[in-house]
Structures are given as structure tokens and as C-alpha cells.
Amino acid sequence: MAKRKQETLFTGLRNKIKRRRATVAVIGLGYVGLPLAVEMAKAGQKVYGIDVNDEKIRSIRRGASYVQDVKPSDLKKVVKAGRLIPTTDYSVISEADAIDICVPTPLRKTKDPDMRFIMAALEEIEKYVRRGQLVILESTTYPGTTEEVVLPRLAKDGLKVGRDFFLAFSPERVDPGNKKFDTSRIPKVVGGVTEKCTAVACDLYNCCVKSTVPVTSTTVAEMVKLLENTFRSVNIGLVNEMCLMCARMDIDVWEVIEAAATKPFGFMPFYPGPGLGGHCIPIDPFYLSWKARMAGFETRFIELAGQINSSMPQYVVTKVTDVLNLHKKSLNGARVLVLGVAYKNDVDDTRESPALDVIRQLEEKGARVSYADPLVDTISFDGKKMKSVKISGPALNKYDCAVIVTNHKAFNYGQIVKNSKAIVDTRNALKKFKAPNIHKI
């Protein structure tokens, strides 16, 4: 009888999900959680979107999207239909058949994992968890988190994972601004604590994404995410070092990369820049290296790549100093315009943006810094606010140097080249232009 009851919990949940009759609670409505909540609601599930930020909740209720990848029309449709219900009330978890945790996982200043948002979410889930529920962690973290941290908090009062409730990890793979691969088109890696956990988690994602990729454990799924972003971090570190080397040898690194990329096998182009930004690449490798240290393993490649990448803003400032010297101008007192403060082109996301470090270091050396970004109206850091300036032809000429940190398509590069006294291009945005005022990193 007990075994039959267990099977009923498992099969009942699977059937409910497949028939689009499940209730899902998505915790954390940021760049990951909101797109996922909308896709699940579009697929027909009833979704509670939970966030502690009242402003986000009010915005969703109005159908006003604050995430670039979520169309206001899609948001309005699911909210109006009652399939997406935004709330700050965690008690709705008691109604949920599935709970998806999509909260931030930043680093502490010591480069150690900061788990406070996951722990806060678990404290609330503990109050309302019941038999027959599926819990999935999407927040990027170190291998072992799901089973070492999440599982003990849920396996209480006789509840057994894989029998009474189901637990899995599925790494988020959001690429803000990528129109080709939105949430629904990105394959979803899924690893459960048990085979049943994996199966029911795949069922949930299969209702709203193109494909799922089941793996044998939560630790494998956790490691997948870290490998993906560490791969990028290490290769960007390599090409940044190549950039520094080529500069010393007076070789155009951009031309080198472009020529190397013509090889049809065995080479994947990566590009240098002013540093790493976004929530994933600057942070995820440190989650991995932290866990490795706990196991007595030294991640030399990862640490070295991190050192090189984090040094790039300083290199940009040195380049600006050298360019100003060519014009017999000191950086101290110079007017410098930073073009772009988002961490990547054509998005409004400034998380971990290297532009902030560039601005900070320029100001520390006495430069008078302004910034222009068509997608980011204001920025706040170090206890102060800055507002984007409007740039036109004549206005550009009042700056001693313009620094292209983010290569937004919205910038009029012809106007920038024509009217700027000097330009430091960190993104090769001006590759089609030939002018004496252009200086590449």
C-alpha cells in the first residue's frame, strides 16, 4: 500500500505537469526567473512569481517588463489570463506542485560563494513544503550545493527524496539580448537526486523548452554550468594576454584573430576587451575554484585567467593615459567620455560591468569622466549616481578622449570618429574606419 501511494505521488505529479494543470512557484523574478515564469505560463501552467521586491511585483501586475528579453505583450497576456500571478507572499508555495529557485548567487569580497539568497528562499520553502512537490534549484552554485545544502533543509518530518518529494538542479543558461536563443530555445540540462527526480523535472521543462538534457546527478548538472563559463573565462583570459603581448610587439591582435578564425577546424575565436562582465563569467569560475580548494585541489588555469581578465580595466586606463600623452595632455584633469556601460553590447545590464572599473580608475587618477549609453540612463556605484549624457557631433569635441567600452549598435560610429579628438577602442567597434584619432587596445 505504501509503495502504491509513493507511485501515485510520482505519477500523479507527472500527469499533472504533462496535462498543463500544475501550479508552479518561481522564486526570484530577475533576468532568469521572469523569462522562465512567462514561458511556463505561456505553456499553460499556473505560475506564482515570487519576489521580495515590491516594485518588480507592481511592474508585472501592470504588464510592464523590466527584463529586456521578456516582451511586454507576452507578459500582459499571461498576467491578464491569470496564468502568471506576481506576489511577495511565500505562502502560495503550499499550493505549488513545483518550486523553481532562481535567486542571485553573488560572491563575497573574499571571492567565496555568497549563499544568503538561496538560504533565505529555503527558509520560506521549509515552512510550506509538502509531499508530492518538486523543487528545482537553478541558481548557479558550486558542485554539491543541491544535496549538501538544499536536501537536508527539505528532508524533514520523515520526508524522503525521490519518494515523498522530488529535488533537482538545472543550471540557468540565459544569454541576455540573444534573440536567436531565448529561454524556450536553450536546451535544459537537468540532474535529479534520484532517477524519478530527474524524470519529473524534465517533464516540467519539456512543457516550455525545446529540449532537455538529463544527466546522472545534481553534481554533474552543477558542474556543467561551471565548465561552460569557466571555458569562456579561460579562453578570454588567453586572448586578453595575447592582446597585451601583441601590443608590446606592435601587432594588431584583431587582425591576428580574424585570420586565425578562417581555420575551419580546431579554432574558436574569442576576443579581447576591457574586462569581464555579467553575472556568470566573472563569478562562476570562482565558485569552482572555491570548491576545488575545499577538496585540496589548486585551479591554476582558472586563477590565472581571473587575474588577467581583472587586470584589463587597468590596461584600458593605461592606454587612455598613453593616448592623451600623444596629444600632450595629462590624464589628471582631462575630460574623458566612456561610451557604453552595459557589460555587453545591446543590453541594459550593468552587472559586474568592466566599465564601472574603468570609470572608477579614471576618476582616481583625476580624470573628469562622463558616460553615454543609449540603454542605461543612470548608474549607481561607490555611493554615487551618474547619468548618461547625450552625444552629438559638436558635443563630442569637448572631450579629450572617448573610450568605447561597450559596442552598442545604436552608437553612430561615423559621427564618433569624425568629431572625437582621440578614441580608445576596446571592442574593435571601429574596424571599418581608418583615422589617426583611433587607438585600439
Provide the residue type at 309 as one letter.
N
At which residue does the C-alpha cell 561607490 appear? 382
Contacting residues for 381 by C-beta, under 8 A, at least 6 apart: 356, 360
What grid cell was written down for 283? 563569478
For residue 421, how many other CB atoms are within 10 A of its CB? 17
Question: Does 280 qualify as catalytic in the annotation?
Answer: yes
- The conformation of residue 388, written as its DSSP 8-state character, comes to P
> Active-site residue among 208, 243, 280, 401?
280
C-alpha 172/C-alpha 180 separation (Å) is 16
- Measured in degrees and rounded to the nearest 5, phi and psi for residue 425 equal -105, 110
CA distances from 56 to 61, 239, 298 (A): 9, 39, 41
CA distances from 2 to 7, 154, 196 (A): 9, 21, 17
C-alpha 423/C-alpha 396 separation (Å) is 11
Contacting residues for 295 by C-beta, under 8 A, at least 6 apart: none
3-state class of 384 per DSSP? strand
Note whether 115 and 149 are within 8 A (CB).
Answer: yes
Tell me, rounded to whole angstroms, the distance of Cα 181 from its chain centroid.
14
CA distances from 416 to 356, 412, 433 (A): 21, 6, 11
Point out the residues that are catalytic: 280
